[in-house]
Chains A and B, each alone.
Chain A
Amino acid sequence: MRPPLSRRSFLRGLAFARPVALALPPLEAMFNAAGTAYAADGAGAETRFVFWFNGNGIPEKYWIPSETGSDFVLTPCLSPLATFRNDIHVITGIDSPAARLPGPGNDHHRSMSALMTGTQFTGRGAGGASLDQVVAARIGGNSRFRSLQVGVSQESFGESVQRNMSWAGYDRPLPPEMLPHKLFDRLFGQREIGWINRKKSVLDAVRQDTVGLKKQLGATDQQRLSEHLDSVRDVEKSIATLPPQYYKVDEPEYDGDMKDWPRIAKLQSDLLAHAFITRQTRVASYMLTKCQGLTRFPWLGYTAARHHDYTHRDGKAPGADGPDGQRIMRDICRWHVEEFAYLLGKLRSIKEGEKSLLDSTMLLYVHEHAEANDHKNNGLSMILAGHAGRLRTGLHTRTTGTIGDLYWTVADDLMKSGVDRFPTASRKVGEILS
């Protein structure tokens, strides 16, 4: 019998790997000797959903294909998707009407709340539940984690609505886990039977305290305490449903450049794929960079200014006014798509029964703005990918629906999560369904 994989060796595998081909240990090492965990259940693989975001919009002329239909030419920004043509559906022209409701916040705040939730920015956060949480509420209940929030770029900048893409509800952010070793710990950390029993007793007392406290509260505070209770229950569940093969894993040992976002992105994508294949969750959000993000891009050679500075033509990024700035934005957005393509590749490389993980996953890739310079929030460009549900692929479609229309179609028709309506939805976007 093969010894269980240690966390140390897992991370070493990740840490020393180079971007193109990550030397991940074979997955069966993480499972029992029979290796049955790879196999799809009799009923077939479970479907998964990834909601992917990166900040600051796009340079449309380098991003949106000129042609629609199946003969579209991949633009410079989309070029990393060359080998995934038949796994994607590029959709452009989507409107985000809630971003234009008058109210608090700057364009980014308003656009982000509207993009994630279809609702207006509250002045503090998003006005409702984000798409991933709407889906998770329907299909996440039987997994160890109802949903995972994965992040990459650890910028200290920004307010809640800029730092979080997942929202459990009105003003309730779900922060992303941005450190690979912490994400690893959540998924595969050391857990012994004694530890689990101990935690159960502790959380049992905590839950009873919570119930006792709740009786003393008014409606609003009861609601807030319920969230705490839900969180405690989620933690309890994540402990109770821990796969037994993870009880004994070594202490972590982690080093490396934590500001190297391309490397972190790939580590996070690997971990996410493993969370899926080990059936710890079915729903994830992936926040590559922050809304209105201020990342610099040393790996692209752009360190003079920060991401958001390049999206203003008024000299926030000296020397990048006009065409130069557009070309820089092109390279930045190509990097975003490159990381997305990496995740697609990772999912495609992992087999579950006869099929790959990509066959059972649906991914939706969004930005808070269309043309970055104008901070435009209509005519948004997005990428749908994966073969969960009946997604038509190999196409570029220009449409006129709202994000609500699209999300409703994704959640209901593709993810089969039985979602009734999404805010701002009035019709299904039939063009994406086969």
Chain B
Amino acid sequence: MALVLLAISLCASSALAETPLFVRDLLPVLEKAQCMECHQFNGVASTTRLQFPESGASSEEMEAFGDTLRKLVDRANPANSLLLMKPTNRAKHGGGLRIKPGSDEEVAVKAWIDHLLRTPASPGRTFARARTAKEQTVLRRLTHSQYDSTVRDLVGDHTFPSRQFPPEDFIDGFKNQYEGQSISPILAESYLNAAERVAANWQGKDPGPSFVKDFGLRAFRRPLTAEEEKRYSALYAQGKAKLVMEAMLQSPQFLFRLEATSNPAHKPYARAARLSYILWDTMPDEALLKATASGELDTAKGVEGAARRMLSDPRARQSADEFIAQWLRFDTVVTMVKERRAYPMFTREMALAMTEETRRLAADLIWSDKSFMDLFTAGYTFLNADLAALYRLSAPAEEFAKVSFPADSDRAGILGHATFLALTSKPADTSITARGLFVREQFLCQHVPQPPPGVNVNLPVQRADKPMTNRERLSVHLTNASCASCHNLIDPIGYGLEKYDGVGARREKLKVDLPRYDRRQDQKTVEIDIDASGWVTGIQSSEFNTAGGLGRVLAANPQCQECVVKQYFRYALGRHEGPADRPTIERISADFRKSGFRFQDMMISLVRWTEFPPSAELARNGKD
């Protein structure tokens, strides 16, 4: 037995010597060093020359990737290869020291460099095609807000039935990501109860058996099949319009949207439904169904025209509103809790006012057709009396009227909004890390790895003899190498916002409650200076010390501009973008830029390029 084992291991090691395999020899080393946490499509190091394939790549794909690492090899002086210099931190590496000099892991990297030097480059191959199909969404459940709007438009029900449904969870940043959409028994029961109530409340005139066909077209957003017509006509005979309605409202054909239907007669209708749920958050109306039947949506031009028309409808505002609310996490703002002693002025009404301010600024930029990047730099905002007091401005005559910031104001754009500043704070103080993380993830679309499991995330506590600023307490993040690799990407952003407190009011000094060792002592509080010099690691000349300053850095940054597109893409398509979507995202981003960052143009462009993807056009021209 032992001999056999030995023979096998000898075979294995000789095989290793003969044909190096990336997946076997180097990938485990790079995985252990956690390279792909940052060097991936949406990672913080996505703009560097190293980018790993998405998880789930085939081994063939991984081998091809291993071969492309030769671009990081210095043929003249192999010891100088970036592939070796970066992870060992001999050349300055954003991720710090990942592989120790002299370790077995370093030996493996060197061996791979040798291998690449000895072998010719294998011909470049693209694997995008195989992955396109996998990433395509075909089945999406109506979100709760879509359910409410749909029954409103379908049967005139204004009761918001989804308020009785189990709440939707945020998955991957939004509530509508299809991978998180399931129907649990308790949701199925909620649909049953809602359908029963909606049908019972319906006051419409029963038109007779034609109801099945007409209502079916609108409920299923396409003409019924012969089989369905038969099935529902039988129900009609049994219980008239209300029974048909009750059943259709529980049918998967109503609750789900089939994006890639195999029935050619249904294809244009699926497209119409996509348009209306993206742009309106509700079902197609009669005009759109007519346009669909007439073939208007069969061309890119037709789709653009329809989209433009749809944006002039008030329903488009509701849909864009919902995007803003989810992207900027209004849900956490309206449910957040603040320490009463630290923020006595904070109330639930104030939290609602915060979101209203941000909602109004976004709506103003979108619907007055201004540059959407002004979201980060706008020198005006919309305030009620509570917020004006919080910002120490004079209250406008009318609630939420437009107010210009004074010329010397440090505030501009949403980074100075209480929405952002408060939701990224703790109950009793700011959170430098949460602010930096929110900017990275929401505004730069960069995925920042979580702290590794088991790390002690408690910060040093305040000491009476040496009170510290939050920045000083966080210094451990930058002195400990394993923390620093990520925190130097995150924390410096938060540093620059430290002069805004946990609800978004300006503060010049930090109040520190000194610890008491005896409860009978009075609480002593000292005020210490705040160093609010911040920067965005990875963006040149990004030093700032005000909300407006950071806003100007972001507004001018191409990654931030593209991130607006990506976030809207995620919301509109119900999934995150993958490598196969790159050409689409690039086209939309180019259109967005060309339009001077008009959000409406971007919405139209998104619908146009997702319906008629650039890759498909290229494929038709035989280029690929």
Contact = CB atoms under 8 A, between A and B. Distances in A.
Interface of A: 99-102, 104-107, 110, 123-125, 145-146, 149, 156-157, 159-160, 163-164, 168, 171-175, 177, 186, 198-199, 201-203, 205-206, 208-210, 212-213, 216-218, 221, 224-225, 227-228, 230-232, 234-235, 238, 294, 296, 304-306, 309, 312-316, 318-319, 321-322, 373-375, 377
B235 A206 contact: no
Given A174-B186, A231-B184, 19 more contacts: A102-B453, A106-B450, A107-B451, A124-B171, A124-B180, A160-B171, A164-B169, A175-B186, A198-B246, A208-B231, A210-B252, A218-B138, A221-B138, A228-B183, A235-B192, A306-B427, A315-B429, A318-B428, A319-B516
B335 A156 contact: yes
Given A99-B453, A205-B247, A304-B339, A225 B262 contact: no
A124 B172 contact: yes
Interface in B304-345: 331-332, 335, 337, 339, 341-342
Interface in B560-589: none
A209 B251 contact: yes
Interface string B458-484: 111110000000000100000000000
Given A304-B339, A314-B461, A316-B426, A231 B188 contact: yes
A315 to B, nearest CB: 6
A305 B188 CA distance: 37
Given A102-B452, A235-B189, A306-B337, A175 B427 contact: no
Nearest to A231: B188
Interface stretch (B109-117, B253-261, B357-365): B253-261
B188 A235 contact: yes
With a 10 A CB-CB cut-off, give which of B251, B263, B457 has the most chain A CB atoms. B251
B69 to A, nearest CB: 22
Nearest to B136: A218
Contacts of B459: 314-315
B515 interface: yes
Contacts of A106: 450-451
B461 A321 contact: yes
Interface string B496-530: 00000000000000000101100000000000000
Contacts of B27: none
Interface of B: 34, 138-139, 166-167, 169-172, 177, 179-189, 192, 195, 225, 227-228, 231-232, 235, 238-239, 243, 246-247, 250-253, 255-256, 258, 261-263, 331-332, 335, 337, 339, 341-342, 426-429, 450-454, 456-462, 473, 513, 515-516
Given A213-B258, A304-B339, A174 B231 contact: no
Listed from nearest, the 10 A-B pairs whose CB atoms lie closest are: A231-B188, A160-B169, A314-B459, A175-B166, A221-B139, A156-B335, A234-B185, A209-B251, A202-B247, A205-B247
Given A168-B184, A175-B186, A216-B263, A209 B427 contact: no
Contact of B456 (A159, A374, A377): A374
With a 10 A CB-CB cut-off, give which of B227, B246, B253, B450 has the most chain A CB atoms. B450
Contacts of A309: 426-427
A31 to B, nearest CB: 24
Nearest to A149: B186
Contact of A209 (B166, B195, B228): B228
B139 A171 contact: no
B611 to A, nearest CB: 20
A107 B453 contact: yes
Contact of A171 (B179, B332, B427): B179
A102 B337 contact: no
A156 B256 CA distance: 26
B171 A202 contact: no
B515 A321 contact: yes
B180 A125 contact: yes
Contacts of A304: 339, 341
B430 to A, nearest CB: 12
Given A218-B138, A306-B427, A174 B258 contact: no
A110 B449 CA distance: 14
A206 B251 contact: yes
Given A209-B251, A228-B183, A315-B462, A201 B243 contact: yes
Given A172-B184, A228-B188, A304-B339, A216 B258 contact: yes
A294 B243 contact: no
B139 A174 contact: no
Contacts of A145: 185
A206 B180 contact: no
Contact of A234 (B188, B235, B256, B458): B188
Given A201-B238, A201-B247, A209-B252, A235 B185 contact: yes
A99 B454 CA distance: 9
A209 B231 CA distance: 9
B258 A305 contact: no
A198 B184 contact: no
Contact of A123 (B172, B238, B453): B172
Nearest to A146: B185
B169 A198 contact: no
Contacts of B458: 312-314, 373
Contacts of B169: 159-160, 163-164, 173
Given A100-B454, A201-B243, A205-B251, A231 B171 contact: no
Contacts of A377: 453-454
A269 B200 CA distance: 34
Nearest to B428: A318
Contacts of A175: 166-167, 184, 186-187
A434 to B, nearest CB: 35
Contact of A231 (B185, B231, B339): B185
Given A227-B182, A318-B513, A375 B457 contact: yes
A225 B187 contact: no
Given A160-B169, A305-B339, A174 B185 contact: yes
Contact of A156 (B188, B255, B331, B462): B331
B243 A228 contact: no
A145 B228 CA distance: 30
10 contacts: A149-B186, A159-B169, A175-B166, A201-B238, A216-B258, A228-B188, A238-B189, A304-B339, A306-B337, A322-B461
Contacts of B177: 124
Contacts of A373: 458
A283 to B, nearest CB: 13
A422 B263 CA distance: 42
Contacts of B238: 201
Nearest to A160: B169
A199 B189 contact: no
Contact of B139 (A225, A313, A318): A225
Given A104-B450, A198-B239, A312-B458, A203 B250 contact: yes
Contacts of B428: 305, 315-316, 318
Given A177-B186, A198-B239, A313-B461, A206 B250 contact: yes
Nearest to B232: A205
A107 B451 CA distance: 8
B180 A171 contact: yes
A7 B332 CA distance: 36
Contact of B180 (A160, A225, A227): A160
Contacts of A316: 426-428
Contacts of B246: 198, 202
A209 B256 CA distance: 11
B186 to A, nearest CB: 6
Contact of A212 (B138, B228, B454): B228
A156 B451 CA distance: 25
Nearest to B261: A216
Nearest to A234: B185
Contacts of B231: 205, 208-209
Nearest to B452: A102
Contacts of A107: 451, 453-454, 457
